[in-house]
Every structure is written in C-alpha cells, then in structure tokens.
C-alpha cells in the first residue's frame, strides 16, 4: 500500500480524494472484485449450482462494477468528479446487493460469508469516498 500511496502522491495533478483515502478505497475495491470472482467460481463448483445462479450473477456484477470504479478512481481530471461520484454510488449499490445475496448463503457456504464481509468492508470505503466528494 505504501507504493500505491507514493504513486498517488507523485502524480502532477491533485487526486480526487486525499491520498490515504484514495489508496484505501482502491485497495478495498480491487480486493472486493477479486473476492467476488472467487465467490462466483466457488458457487459454480457447488453441487446445487442452479440454486446459486443469482449469487453468481450478483458477484460478477459487483466485480465488474468494482473494476470500473478502480479505473475511474485513478483518473484525476477535475471535470470528472461528477462521474466519479456517480460511479462510486452505483458501485456501492452493486456491492450492497452482492453482500445481501451472499449473506443469504453465508451459513451454508463459507465462501459466501467471506465475500459478504469483503463487500461490507468495501461498502464502508465507498461511503467514506462518497462523503469526501460531496
């Protein structure tokens, strides 16, 4: 994370968020995307995969949304703050919906419990970033 913070601080433009918050948010968002892909893959390996269809869809949607948000977070164009704000809000919704779906399966499937917790951590980071941009 220190290298990420150094990279953020070395950029000639002012970042959209304070360096520590940006680094933390980027880390959470990227981790969430990876957890969601892993969870979707684990859901595909379950015996009753048809019962996991919605969880797989929501995990993949969350992962894609988080990746898009990560790309937007590292673009410093001041004119795009509105876009970043909207992207963070949309990703927060996708992340919340994924967390809720994974929580439905958390008691029976450890991968869903872990994914739900990662989503909740990321949701907290999204709200902090949204508040900082508001």
Average pLDDT over every residue of 60-81: 87
Let me know if residue 90 belongs to a domain.
yes
pTM exceeds 0.75 for this model? yes
Examine residue 80 and state whether it is found in any structural domain, yes or no.
yes
Residue 38 CB-density burial (10 A; 0-12 exposed, 13-18 middle, 19+ buried): middle
User: Any idea what the CATH number is for the domain that residue 39 is in?
Assistant: 1.20.1270.360
Using CB atoms within 10 Å of the CB of residue 11, give its burial: 0 to 12 exposed, 13 to 18 middle, 19+ buried.
Answer: exposed
pLDDT at 19: 87
| Residue 106 placed within a domain | yes
Residues 9-37: pLDDT tens digits? 777 777 778 888 999 999 999 999 999 99
Answer yes or no: is pLDDT of 102 > 90.
Answer: yes
Tell whether 74 is covered by a domain.
yes
**Number of domains making up the chain:** 1
Residue 5 falls inside a structural domain: no
**Structure-token pair, residue 99:** 């967390």
Domain span holding position 36: 19-133
Proportion of the chain above pLDDT 70, given as a percent: 96
């Amino acid at each position: 994370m220190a290298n990420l913070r150094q990279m953020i601080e070395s950029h000639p433009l002012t970042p959209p968020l304070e360096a520590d918050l940006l680094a933390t948010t980027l880390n959470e968002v990227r981790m969430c995307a990876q957890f969601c892909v892993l969870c979707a893959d684990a859901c595909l390996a379950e015996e009753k995969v048809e019962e996991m269809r919605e969880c797989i869809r929501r995990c993949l949607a969350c992962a894609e949304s988080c990746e898009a948000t990560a790309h937007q977070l590292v673009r410093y164009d001041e004119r795009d703050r509105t876009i970043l704000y909207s992207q963070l809000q949309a990703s927060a919704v996708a992340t919340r919906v994924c967390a809720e779906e994974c929580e439905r399966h958390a008691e029976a499937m450890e991968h869903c419990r872990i994914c739900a917790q990662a989503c909740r951590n990321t949701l907290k980071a999204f709200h902090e970033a949204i508040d900082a941009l508001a």
